[in-house]
């Protein structure tokens, strides 16, 4: 989703075309890529946009596709705004990833970049849950000038629900986001933490995702 709030907001999980854009309450089905939607929000042409397309993107790394992800769509959009369209004045981007799996690809792409604050809340299982390893651990905070701009909230078991996610929002994400004061927010909105998902194992209700 891309949304211009007091500053701006974006949510999207695909570089593939086929996006539903909402502006002033009127939905339009158009043929755009995620970075193009982000561009339109940054330009003020749209208030917000939501990508309802496949494949997702947050596992894809710079030189490797993985986890059903071919291209890291949100990372492409962020890089495009920061590096290809400096005229738009987007200098700081918050990327929020609430997919049940850690956004390893997005994390690696902005590991040393203080212009991007990456926040991921995910099931971790002490490194045993996909994509496995230590990348999703809370101690992974970035490196160099990017140190402190990478935040992981790892669940070490399944069954986490609305109260857990909202607590992470209230006590970690929102205070940090207010201090960071981003120009635009990109959201990797995977819904596999929803109750009943066969792989996620968490218990988030749909209305809670809407309230996020």
Q: The dihedral of CA 2, 209, 154, 6: what is its sign?
A: positive
**What is the rounded distance in angstroms from the CA atom of residue 17 to the CA atom of residue 33?**
5
Q: Is 122 a catalytic residue?
A: no
The Cβ of residue 141 has, within 10 Å, a number of other Cβ atoms equal to 14
**Distance between CA atoms of residues 62 and 79, nearest Å:** 12
First to last CA, the chain: 12
CB 90, CB 183: distance < 8 Å: yes
DSSP of 110-165:
TTT-TTEEEEEEEE-GGGTSTT-SSTTSTT----GGGTTSEEEEEESSS--BHHHH
Could you give the angle at the alpha carbon of 95 between the alpha carbons of 173 and 134, nearest 5°? 80
Catalytic residue, from 28, 35, 58, 59: name it: 59
Residues designated catalytic: 59
């Amino acid at each position: 989703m891309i949304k211009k709030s007091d500053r701006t907001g974006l949510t999207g999980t695909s570089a593939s075309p086929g996006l539903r854009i909402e502006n002033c309450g009127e939905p339009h089905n158009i043929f755009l890529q995620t970075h193009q939607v982000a561009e339109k929000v940054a330009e003020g042409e749209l208030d917000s946009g939501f990508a309802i397309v496949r494949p997702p993107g947050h596992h894809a790394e710079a030189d490797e596709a993985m986890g059903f992800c071919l291209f890291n769509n949100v990372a492409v959009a962020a890089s495009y705004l920061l590096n290809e369209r400096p005229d738009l004045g987007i200098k700081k981007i918050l990327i929020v990833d609430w997919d049940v799996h850690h956004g390893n690809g997005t994390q690696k792409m902005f590991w040393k970049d203080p212009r991007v604050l990456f926040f991921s809340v995910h099931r971790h299982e002490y490194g045993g849950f996909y994509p496995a390893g230590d990348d999703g651990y809370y101690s992974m905070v970035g490196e160099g000038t990017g140190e402190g701009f990478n935040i992981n909230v790892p669940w070490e078991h399944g069954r986490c629900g609305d109260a857990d996610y909202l607590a992470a929002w209230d006590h970690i994400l929102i205070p940090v986001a207010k201090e960071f004061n981003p120009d635009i927010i990109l959201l990797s909105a995977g819904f596999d933490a929803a109750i009943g998902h066969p792989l996620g194992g968490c218990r988030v209700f749909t209305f809670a995702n809407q309230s996020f």
